[in-house]
Amino acid sequence: MQFFEHGEAANDDHYLSARHRTLPIPESVTPIANYPTKLRIFKTLASRYWQVRCYLRGKTYTQSLKTTNKSAAISQAKQFFHIKTAELYGEHVVVKEDRPVIFNDLVVATLAQQQARVERGELTALSLAILRSRLSKNIQPCFGAMPIDTINYQHLTDFVQRLNNKGLSPTSIQQHIVAARKVFHYAHGMNLIKSLPRFPSVKIKSQPRGSFTIGEYRSLVSWARRLIGTRVPTSVTAKSRRGELNVEQYGRISTDLAWLIRFMVNGFMRPSDIKFLQHQHVTVVRAKHIYLRLNLPETKKHDKPIVTLQAAVYVYERLLAWQVSQGYGKPTDYVFLPEQTNRDLVLETYRWQFTWIQQQAGIGRNAANGQSRTLYSLRHSSMTFRLLYGRRVDLLTLARNARTSVEMVEKFYSSNLAAEMNIDLLQGRRD
């Protein structure tokens, strides 16, 4: 005979409050792997079936999955999430009963799913815009009218060849494959296809960006100072897609171009950082070492501060003093070209000017790899100089400070280093 504690009965569950009976049983709560943490399945005392709950757009959605099988419940929970996401952020997958589901039917819902990721902070709005562009420009014209379950490896291989014939780089082709794969993953999650097709592999050759030598770097700074106020020829500015919008005001070498060059080389910055860097992101640190701490907005999933070299402090303080004299320099003012509200044009402006400065300095393609140099090459130079002259700086420290990975440092920054570039370190003995 089973014995019960005082006041306890074998059928006490039936006398619990309705609220208590519908609460999740703690040990049953199961998050769905690779999905948002607030998507979970669980059981209650009120039902033998699994339930699903997710939180979207400030509201909680719950539904019975009508199954007692946990594996089936997980699969159905994923479907529930995709359907609810499409309802909230886009359109339903609308399909006429007299035809199969085609690729285009799933594009809107896939983009809606990605929009939800943007709102959760998992994806940038720029990444979503690029995805949308790749789908509409190249992928949908190829696969749009095809039934999703008929697209196979051969079709995808033909697609790759089509992009190759259009002159796209291997990197760009691979990115298009990734974009198409998102639609197939959505279809698979909705049980519209039994399995994902095999995707062709595209071999991508590492193309390290060109860097500058110390002599070339000094020459760039010198010419940028010498040519302040000089008009950039229209043959250079015309290469910009939006050149005519900005050439009259910014078609002359800016006063701060020389400061920009020095700041980037001593600050490990990407050109895109220039657009967003404000004075409130900059802290001058004077301790054992003197440097700038740059708390830049998150880029490429990196949000840690950047520590500059001491030379950047000198550059920043003089740039700030000059800007104050011009009526700028407030915390929310931009560090470079603060008067320009269209920050995309800021980057284009500097690209014109930098291209022409290189021409005037007689700096052609990189002698090491034959590549042209751009603004991004200043960041490359910053990394290369540290590897050469940074007193045995380790790659992990350098990578973290520059908001990149050790793999990227090895692949794109250290690959051009030759042994003779640092013969002293190579030939030196351990202390």
Which pLDDT tens digit goes with each residue over 116-162? 877 776 777 778 888 988 998 999 999 988 999 899 999 999 999 99
pLDDT of residue 342: 78
Residues in the chain, total: 431
Q: Is the pLDDT of residue 292 over 80?
A: yes
Q: What is the dihedral of CA 135, 136, 142, 144, to 10 degrees?
A: 90
Which pLDDT tens digit goes with each residue over 301-310? 556 788 888 8
Lowest mean pLDDT among 126-140, 189-203, 385-399: 385-399
* Greatest pairwise CA separation for the chain in angstroms: 100
Q: How confident is the model at residue 14 (pLDDT cuts 50, 70, 90)?
A: very low
Mean pLDDT, residues 353-362: 90
pLDDT of residue 19: 59
Mean pLDDT, residues 273-292: 90
pLDDT of residue 332: 93
Q: Is the pLDDT of residue 400 over 80?
A: no
Q: Is the pLDDT of residue 344 over 90?
A: no
Which pLDDT tens digit goes with each residue over 237-272? 665 544 444 566 667 888 899 999 999 988 888 888
What phi-psi label fits residue 417: left (phi over 0), alpha (psi between -120 and 50 degrees) or beta? beta
Q: Is the pLDDT of residue 297 over 90?
A: no
Q: What mean pLDDT is reported for the chain?
A: 78
pLDDT of residue 391: 65
pLDDT of residue 374: 85
Q: How confident is the model at residue 348 (pLDDT cuts 50, 70, 90)?
A: confident
